[in-house]
Amino acid sequence: MLLRSTGMFHTVLLLCRSDTVCHLLLRMRIYYQKETRLSMEKCDAPAIRATRGIINSFIKTFFMRSCCMISVLCIPDYSERLGPMKCPRVLLAVFLGVCGACSSQPGPIIGTTGGSLDDNLSLLKLFDTPSEDTIHFYTVAYNILASNPRASFFELSRYPEFAAFCRDHGITLTGGPMLGSRTADGVKIWVRTSAPAEVSVKVTTPDKERMFGPVTTDAASDLTGIIDVTGLPPDSRCPYSVLVNGTPAKISPHAEIITLPESDAAKPVRIAFGSCYHRWGLANPVLAGRIRERNPAALLLMGDIAVQDRKNHLGLHRADYLLRDLHPAWRDLVAAVPVYAAWDDHDYFSNDEAGIPAGFTADDRWGVRQVFTQSWNNPAYGFSDDRGGIFFHTQIGPCDVIMTDNRYFRTGKKGVFLGEDQMQWLEARLLECRGPFIILSCGTMWSDYVSNGKDSWGRMDPEGRERLFRFIEQHRIGGVLLISGDRHGARGFRIPRPGGFSFYEFGAASLGARNGPPVTDPSWETQLYGFESVYAFGEFTIDATPEDPTVTFRLIREDGAELYTKTLTRGELTPPGT
């Protein structure tokens, strides 16, 4: 009975030093979870369900709070200071857990405020009916990753039960393939293996087969690898397969690289974007299929994607990314559409948190960044040195794309939103852009209409925003398209400037169809559109062939309906001369 509490289970794992005992406890935990789930599913009496729910809630609260106290008292730093008095410390922790369970006040939370295993399993079943093998696989992996705030996929691969399950079921990939970092003649392909391995990619071009790799996945990369695929013919469809240690892996049937046409034979290019999957939308097969069938050159994601409020618990960050990679809809999408990702608050630490949040350390921030960089396929991540960050600049077809990082560098003081180093980097990149349009993203909104600018430029750094807008105007940098997320729902705004010029902000924080603040208001005179509670994504169609290139924005619902459309020319998006 005691092991039915996730908190108590994690506590026992923390206290145990024997790998054999840990593995035994993991098996017992998984057994009890399965039996509890089955017994609850078979119980039809509402009164009995309610009673069991109350009892389970008390047990979870009691043992979770005991776990928090034991975890604090038993980690190495505290053990060295307090000496080997485990029994008195455990008794104290259990006593405090009882007090916490019987009190309405929240107890100490260490590492995460995100969902439990049951929450994640419910998301796994949201749009699909996963097999019992899939449920068992994720249950085993989640329990191991959740048992240690620093748990890694490499450590997961060393647990006998997990390794045996992967071996018996032919599981060689736990993530990917995911396309990203598109180049003029190819892409990079990200994978995560179930154990250290050599990974190659076989691409079928219109005239021959080509092999790329191998790359090695190991402890240093946390079992991830990126294979660079280059030299593909333009304007072609090239199916591919992934080989792990020479054996074809099970991957999406939609795995295909679609190359762009040569620049001198330019055609309109589509770039999809959005934010706020918040895990819920990742599994939506209709939305994913709609994006994929429109053949965008890329999908830009501006945060709140796969991780939900895991703070510094890196094991649970990884558990959420593993959940992402189990959704068939996500696997089908990213096997065919290159993805570029930035974070926002929820996949950084937690709601509205930035910089080094109170109670956490620079090492915590660096650890969260490391997990993020190992879980995506971007062309770059910030400064790629001790200064950190995850921003980058790239080119997709005729369009420049700059995705900023509005979380890592904040200090809590007003006027520090991107940080001075990133601001200088951004100004330099804007001057370098040569495409007809520049997509400039921010995880939160550029304008101040929603929630009085809470947690965004208007509240945190209006001077920095004004500096950036004036820089664009003074240098007559044309074609800047502002995209944003964070505020659930889809909203667009025209941002008028004193000289008569206007910026345009397009938001599509609707990938998860989550509710949020009001999406419209009569006082918002410059609003373009506002929609809530719909699964929808944004899309730019960029046509560089006219003398004055055009961009058409569409907000597309999952059923294909175009909720809003607007076409602008580069001339309209170029500040006038002084």
pLDDT of residue 266: 73
Q: What are the pLDDT digits (tens) for 431-473?
A: 999 999 999 999 999 998 887 767 889 888 999 999 999 999 9
The CB-based long-range contact list for 119-124 (8 Å cut-off, 24+ gap) reads 120/319, 120/320, 120/323, 123/279, 123/280, 123/283, 123/323, 124/283, 124/323, 124/326, 124/327
Q: Name which of 307, 279, 291 is nearest 339 in CA terms.
A: 291
Mean pLDDT of all residues in 132-153 = 97
Task: Provide the pLDDT confidence category of residue 331 given band limits of 50, 70 and 90.
Answer: very high
Of the pLDDT bands very low, low, confident and very high (cuts 50, 70, 90), residue 74 is very low
C-alpha–C-alpha distance, residues 165 and 160, integer Å: 8
**Cα distance between residue 476 and residue 473, in whole Å:** 5
Residue spans of the domains in the chain: they are 1-110, 173-248, 266-569
Q: How far lies 193's CA from each of 166, 177, 226, 325, 432, in Å? A: 10, 10, 11, 12, 38
Instruction: State pLDDT tens for residues 226-271.
Output: 999 999 999 999 999 999 999 999 999 999 999 998 875 578 999 9
Return the SS3 of 308. coil
Across the range 138-166, mean pLDDT stands at 97
Buried b (16+ CB within 10 A) or exposed e, 344-368: bbbbbbbeebbbbbeebeeebbebb
Residue 556 has pLDDT above 80, yes or no: yes
Name which of 178-182, 238-242, 381-385 the model is least confident about.
381-385
- 536 vs 534: CA distance, rounded Å: 6
Q: Which two tokens stand for residue 192?
A: 């995560």
Of residues 402, 440, 430, 437, the one with CA closest to residue 549:
437
User: Does residue 7 register a pLDDT over 80?
Assistant: no
Q: What's the rounded Cα separation, in Å, for the pair 364 and 356?
A: 8
**CATH classification (class only), 173-248:** mainly beta
Coil, helix or strand at residue 177: strand
pLDDT tens, residue by residue, 501-550: 999 999 999 999 998 889 999 999 999 999 999 999 999 999 999 999 99
What are the tokens at 320? 């959420």
pLDDT (average), residues 320-334: 98
Domains 173-248 and 266-569 in one fold: no
pLDDT of residue 89: 41
Q: What are the residue ranges of helices labelled H in 413-498?
A: 420-432, 457-460, 462-474
CATH architecture of the region 266-569: 4-Layer Sandwich (3.60)
Q: Is the pLDDT of residue 111 over 80?
A: no
pLDDT in the model for residue 460? 87
What pLDDT score does 15 carry?
A: 41
pTM: 0.83
Express each pLDDT in 9-38 by its tens digit: 444 444 443 444 444 444 454 444 444 444
* Distance of alpha carbon 374 from alpha carbon 183, whole angstroms: 20
- Cβ atoms within 10 Å of 124's Cβ, excluding its own: 18
Question: Which range among 89-93, 320-324, 353-357, 480-484 shows the weakest confidence by mean pLDDT?
Answer: 89-93
